[in-house]
Structure 1
Amino acid sequence: MATNVEVINPGDVRSRAQIRPVFGGSPQGGICASVEKKSVNLYSDPDAGEQYGYYDGWLAEEDDLGAVFEYTGAGRSGDQTFEGVAGSGNRAILRHAEQGRVLRVFKAAGRAPGSDTMNHRYLGSFTLDSLEPYVWRRGPGEDGLERNVIIFRLRAAGEVLRDEKDVIPPAQETDGEFIPFKPVTAATFQCDPATSGNLPLPTQRIRSGKKRRKPAPNSETSGSFVLPEAFGNQLSLRAATAATVAIRREAELTQSYKEHLDRAGHRTGAYQIKVKGLTSTLRADLYDATAHVLYEAKGSNSREDVRMALGQVLDYSRYVKMPEHEGEPRRVILLPDAPTPDMYSLLQRYEVQVVYRADDGRFVGPAVPQLQSS
């Protein structure tokens, strides 16, 4: 006769020995995949990450799709990756949907009385955000050296526990930082469900926690552009797929234009912003440090995208401060096609310029630097 396996619900506290018969996974490690149980178990230990400024937890700010839980990828020193043995855990998260697995999040809950055994509190089942599965940030490794860190963006895929003590602490000060541009690589697109809108839309049933914890000071962290901001609309699956096609176009467009700036000898990167009182991180698509130009890219020239880009570039430019330049940067919107005359008129009113890609592949606009003939 088969033995009944214990049910573990959000909010329950268990040891790994008790978790493994239910959800599988290895007895150690932060990202533990199980083929048999169709699960990828994500273990978070605040004591291990927060000393370096990495916070796994809920963003206090929600969008129209609901709340986001941020989870830091695997790799303690050096750039985190999706490649090779070092990136196997991160790949397991990225590919969880196409492999038919559920992401399950556990947070360290102290040691069992009179024992060295660590207990873990189960937060529930999640899936990657279908529009922005992950972002890159900059931060120190255990060796103290700055490196690229993967931050996964998770959405509830059923009942979850959302306790105030699991909310990421807000930034104590407003601070911006010019950081290296992390290019879009094949790893971004090797998993269709994570980047094509095929992930299930979130179905959140959030169980409230009981006690509010005073936020701890938040050390400033930074990262770099990989995918643009998720659209703030409640999307059907069809709309999500269309939106992600635009996201792919936006990523490719930004990378191509950055390469043009690099060939012109300009110093380019991304600009990461933490705003006092917010837990989320703002991210400008592209910054030209040579010409002091801030770009916001969109995957289409639609009225909606142009208006969104206008608001974002006006917002982000307030925080861009570089010692070699005075005042705020020039604001430019990067588009795959020319906007309509009506949108041109709107942008001119706010002194925002446009760069777009012509039919022959050239970039057109007053901010485009000319390449020197060899």
Structure 2
Amino acid sequence: MTTSVEAINPGDVRTRTEIRAVFGGSGQGGICASQDMHSVNLYSDPDVGEQAGYYDGWLAEEDELGLVFEYTGAGKSGDQTFDGVAGSGNRAILRHAEQDRVLRVFTRVGKLAGTDTKTHRYLGAFTLDGMQPYVWRRVHGEDGHERNVIVFRLRPEDTVAPAVQDVVPAAEETTAEFVPFQVVTAAMLQSDPATSGGLPLPKQRASKGSGSRAAAPNAETSGTFVVPEAFGTKLSLRAATAATVAVRHEAELTQAYKAHLDAAGHRTGAFQIKVKGLTSTLRTDLYDATDHVLYEAKGSNSREDVRMALGQILDYSRYVTSPEHEGEPRRVILLPAAPTPDMYTLLDRYDVAVVYRGDDGRFVGDAVPHVD
């Protein structure tokens, strides 16, 4: 005699035992992979996340592909990783498509009456964003130390209407914390097992009319200087488009130029920006702290990419400050090849310079420091 298992649909509230009966996974931990059920179950607990210095949830700001749910990876202390035992859960998320598993997200609701048994609400099935599967973020851990965490960008498989309580809180105040450059283990970006997952584009674009979240005034910001990290250049992106290829080229270009700056003895990093009233976190591509230069990189030298880079760097540079330098940073766009003369004319109007990689592989531009 077989026991029937009740289906779990988005919006249903269940205990972990009930969830395991349907979708498998372990009885504890935030990232629970199940080979038998072809599932990777992600449990989000707002209280735990807040103590550890981060928030999981929907971004109130949609992009051109729709809604994004941010989910912070495993590891409560120190820098998170994709490597070894500590990174096994994070690898399971990154490789979910390659391993034919579905990402399923659950958020904690409360406890069963009179017990310590937690209950969780099922948000639905997700997939990693094919354009930018994850970002690195600098946070203050519960032990008071700063650390780098992996924030996965999840796209819903179906149209959803996010509940207000599941939206990431908007930035409320201004902070301006400068974090010196620190060496971070990069093995998680270079090993094949951690970076070879196939990342499909989202199947269903979420409805723009799913909510009426009005943005608050964005008058203040916070900036945090952090180590630049790029998602691995060995990612195999299923259903790749010209845009996804450009993203990989951008990551390669940025890391190559960062290596040049490092070889010249410059201190490099990036700026992480929180805008008051917004839930999303902005991150610049590269910052030269030695010369106070902000770089915005693009994977191609097309007119569209140059114009996009111009808008981004004019926006970001307003928030980049340094106690060692006066005023805003010098603004430079980093490209894989020289733009057209017409684009130079446009950039000159806004006092934005260009650095590009020449045919011989060397970088060209007034901002490029000399390496002995």
TM-score (norm 1): 0.88
CA contact (8 A) 1:135 1:224 kept: no
- In structure 2, distance between residues paired with 1:149 and 1:164: 25
Inter-CA distance 189–265: structure 2 relative to 1 (3 Å threshold)? farther
| 1:248 equivalenced with 2:252 (yes/no) | no
The residue that corresponds to 1:231 in the other structure is none
CA contact (8 A) 2:83 2:194 kept: no
Residue 160 of structure 1 and its aligned partner are, at CA, apart by 4.3
The residue that corresponds to 1:11 in the other structure is 11
The residue that corresponds to 2:234 in the other structure is none
CA contact (8 A) 1:24 1:34 kept: yes
Residue 115 of structure 1 and its aligned partner are, at CA, apart by 0.8
CA contact (8 A) 2:80 2:87 kept: yes
Instruction: Please identify, of 62-71 and 243-252, the stretch whose mean Cα deviation from structure 2 is larger.
Output: 243-252
TM-score (norm 2): 0.89
Q: Render the CA deviation track for 1:154-187: whole Å, top value 9, x for unaligned.
A: 0001254510111011101344555448668215
The residue that corresponds to 1:93 in the other structure is 93
Residue 126 of structure 1 and its aligned partner are, at CA, apart by 0.5
The residue that corresponds to 2:235 in the other structure is none
Unaligned runs of 5+ in 2: 232-237
- In structure 1, distance between residues paired with 2:133 and 2:223: 19
Residue 190 of structure 1 and its aligned partner are, at CA, apart by 4.3
The residue that corresponds to 2:149 in the other structure is 149
The residue that corresponds to 1:130 in the other structure is 130
- In structure 1, distance between residues paired with 2:78 and 2:29: 18
The residue that corresponds to 2:189 in the other structure is 185
- In structure 1, distance between residues paired with 2:167 and 2:197: 27
- In structure 1, distance between residues paired with 2:163 and 2:263: 49
Instruction: Please identify, of 139-148 and 252-261, the stretch whose mean Cα deviation from structure 2 is larger.
Output: 139-148
- In structure 2, distance between residues paired with 1:209 and 1:289: 42
Deviating above 3 A after TM superposition, structure 1's stretches of 4 or more consecutive aligned residues are: 174-184, 187-194, 204-210, 219-228
Inter-CA distance 305–175: structure 2 relative to 1 (3 Å threshold)? farther
Give the counterpart letter for 1:8 in structure 2: I
Inter-CA distance 140–88: structure 2 relative to 1 (3 Å threshold)? same
The residue that corresponds to 2:21 in the other structure is 21
Q: Render the CA deviation track for 1:289-336: whole Å, top value 9, x for unaligned.
A: 111100000011001110111100110000001111111000000001
CA contact (8 A) 2:270 2:283 kept: yes
Residue 207 of structure 1 and its aligned partner are, at CA, apart by 12
Inter-CA distance 334–282: structure 2 relative to 1 (3 Å threshold)? same
| 1:203 equivalenced with 2:207 (yes/no) | no
Inter-CA distance 306–189: structure 2 relative to 1 (3 Å threshold)? farther
Number of positions where the alignment pairs a residue of Structure 1 with one of Structure 2: 355
Inter-CA distance 337–177: structure 2 relative to 1 (3 Å threshold)? farther
- In structure 2, distance between residues paired with 1:329 and 1:189: 39
The residue that corresponds to 2:352 in the other structure is 352
Residue 59 of structure 1 and its aligned partner are, at CA, apart by 0.4
Unaligned runs of 5+ in 1: 229-236
Give the counterpart letter for 1:331 in structure 2: R
CA contact (8 A) 2:160 2:210 kept: no
Provide the identity percentage.
Answer: 68
Q: What is the aligned-residue RMSD (CA, Å)? A: 2.6
